[in-house]
Amino acid sequence: MPLRIGGVRSQTILPQNPSRNQSRNSFSNNRKPGGPKPRNAGNRPPHREPHTNTTRHDSGSQELSNSMTPSTTSAPAGAPTPFSSLPLSPQLLRAIRDEGYDTPTPIQAQAIPPALNGRDILGCAQTGTGKTAAFALPILHKLHTEGVADDRGRHLPRALILSPTRELAGQIADSFAAYGRHTRLRHTTIYGGVSQYHQEKALHRGVDILVATPGRLIDLLDQGIVDLSEVSIFVLDEADRMLDMGFIQPIRRIASELSEERQTLLFSATMPREIVSLADSLLSNPVRVTVTPVASAAPLIEQSVYMVGRHQKQALLHHLIGEHGIERTLVFTRTKHGADKVARRLNRAGILAEAIHGNKSQNQRQRALDGFRKGKSRVLVATDVAARGLDIDDVSHVFNFDIPNEPEAYIHRIGRTGRAGASGAAIAFCDHEERSLLRDIERLTGKRIDAISELPELPNLAAAEAKADAIEDAERPIHRGARPQGSPRSPKANAGPRQGPKPGPRSRRTPNGRPQSPNTRSESGASSETQQGSGPNASKPRNFAGPNARRGQRPAGNGQGSAHQGRGAAPRRTPRG
């Protein structure tokens, strides 16, 4: 009989294919008989900032980054089931207690039991619902109970987690570090934008869990650096985002490198046809878990939209940040160039801001995120690269400087505030050309956003900002070490017109060692091959390359206008008249 978990019917029966189930490590024998049914989670403890660059789980304490925030759906009445009722290893339960968590969220309560039984999972849940722990805890439990090799030499990864962005991959790795701190499992992160040297070293030492982005992982596969033949658990996180980024074919290529006898878990915020087709090809008789539809926004987020022209958006942003005294806010733009421009203008206005987008290197993006988390900058201007998976505390406001082209992206953007049961505000700026995009968002959410037409008195910053941008663009080098536009090459550049003759082509030597410059011109401008001498034969053109001329013959003349003044001498060049 199916078990109802958290208000959603979840299948926990054994699959029809017994041979495949026997090949997996089943955890049905570890379930406590007659244990209480998992229910929706209670209140979430305070969130903590993540630590990075952890490769050993048995090292010092690490903080949890992608934590178990409560779902936006209302929890049914009844006492929540604690983590201690789940058949997890004592080491994992100890790590969960160290992090201060007592009860699982709905996605965790529904996904962890079938995942422990070795079933494939197809989960539909938004970011911030705690789905990282929903697959991290079963993976850690399975790999830990299977045992860790006593020889700490090289061994192949046994679990692979694919993430669409570098930031999300880092946060997933932080979660594995936090939950697996009391185990002896190793993990590493593979992503682009940085040198692959240290990633190769980590793979050579041997890892149990591999968190990667598809692009860099494909590169390492082509180079023969990584071997995925021993992977028994495969996780796709934010699959719809990877679809938007064009990673579906790389995912299929990576899946072809894995063993057929594996457990696959796929999580996505939306379920378009392409994702359903991908799930059908990768998953076998999966358990479907749905917690929060993408069309629903957090009820504690106050949404509003200003009907404002494009040339007034920057001035309105300055006004609202100053009026509300906002100390930590996210501003989303549609383009990378727009993010840089908004950040520069905020800094010129005295509002510390950083920009993050795909054109930034990984170190630049990480420094911007760290500075924003530590309060060094008040505003983080980002493209949609930051709309998924970034878990930043105490973001009070989210500004949609540009309305996104995809209505689902609006839900993910505003989901960066109002987390952990806190309230938040989402403010959008909409010009005349973006009204159709606003209607698409309202159609998706089924809710009309409060529109504000009366704007406060704003200064006209468009002309001044455009002029300042032009000056900055002119002063900015085109590339590293380049000369800014308009600057002189050297102090001699302003010394007036060049004095003396223009330098001619380099002279060459004939077989007998004498210099010859056939293209050197005399005062009259004639080529040296038909140059007239200044001696008695000046009336006849003298062709030095003619058939009757001896090889290397020196021209005749009185030495005043001849092309050569002596044996081995350089050609004389006089200034033009």
Largest Cα–Cα separation, the chain: 125
Whether residue 521 is contained in a domain is answered as no
Can you read off the two tokens belonging to residue 304?
């509003």
**Same domain membership, residue 333 and residue 284:** no
Residue 264, strand partner residues: 234
- Clarify whether residues 382 and 271 are in a common domain: no
- Please tell me whether residues 277 and 307 are part of one structural domain: no
Whether 543 is covered by a domain: the verdict is no
Do 183 and 212 lie in one domain? The reply is: yes
C-alpha torsion sign, points 67, 73, 76, 77? positive
Neighbours of 129 (CB within 10 A): 26
- Cα→Cα distances 538→343, 434, 526, 533, 542, Å: 74, 81, 13, 5, 8
360 and 236 inside one domain: no
Residues 354 and 384 in one domain: yes
Structural domain range at position 395: 301-475
Cβ pair 333, 402 in contact under 8 A: yes
Q: Are residues 79 and 174 in the same domain?
A: yes
How many distinct structural domains can be found in the chain? 2
Quick check: is 530 in a domain? Answer: no
Tell me the C-alpha to C-alpha distance, in Å, between residue 42 and each of 77, 82, 97, 349, 511.
Answer: 11, 9, 15, 43, 96
Same domain? 273 vs 369: no
User: Is residue 234 assigned to a domain?
Assistant: yes
The Cα 375–Cα 367 span in angstroms is 12
In a domain, 544, yes or no: no
User: Cα dist. 170→26, 59, 341, 389, 459 in Å?
Assistant: 29, 17, 27, 10, 42
Alpha helices in 262-376 (DSSP H): 273-282, 313-324, 336-348, 362-373
Quick one: 185 and 283 in the same domain? yes
**Which ranges of 392-446 would DSSP assign to H, the alpha helix?**
407-414, 435-445
Q: Per-residue pLDDT tens, the chain, 577 aa: give them.
A: 443 333 333 343 333 443 333 333 333 333 333 333 333 333 333 333 333 333 444 433 333 333 333 333 333 434 568 898 999 999 999 999 999 888 998 899 999 999 999 999 999 887 667 889 999 999 999 999 987 655 555 679 999 999 998 888 988 999 999 999 999 899 999 998 889 999 999 999 999 999 999 999 999 999 999 999 999 999 999 888 888 788 889 999 999 999 989 999 999 887 888 889 999 999 999 999 987 655 555 567 899 999 999 999 999 999 999 888 898 999 999 999 999 999 999 999 999 999 998 888 878 888 898 899 888 999 999 998 766 656 777 889 999 999 999 888 888 888 888 765 567 899 999 999 999 999 999 998 888 999 998 888 887 776 666 667 677 666 665 545 444 444 455 444 444 555 555 555 555 555 555 555 545 444 444 444 444 444 444 444 444 445 455 555 555 544 444 444 445 555 555 555 4
Residue in 142, 233, 205, 234 with CA at minimum distance from that of residue 179: 142
In a domain, 438, yes or no: yes
Residue 329 φ/ψ, nearest 5 degrees: -145, 155
Residues 451, 354: one domain? yes
Phi-psi region of 528 (alpha: psi -120 to 50; beta: other; left: phi over 0): alpha
Same domain, 356 and 242: no
With CA atoms as reference, report the closest residue to 168 among 107, 213, 123.
213
With both helix axes pointing from N to C terminus, report the angle between 435-445 and 407-414 in degrees, rounded to the nearest 10: 70
The domain that contains 410 carries what CATH number? 3.40.50.300
Domain presence at residue 72: yes
Q: Are residues 256 and 336 in the same domain?
A: no
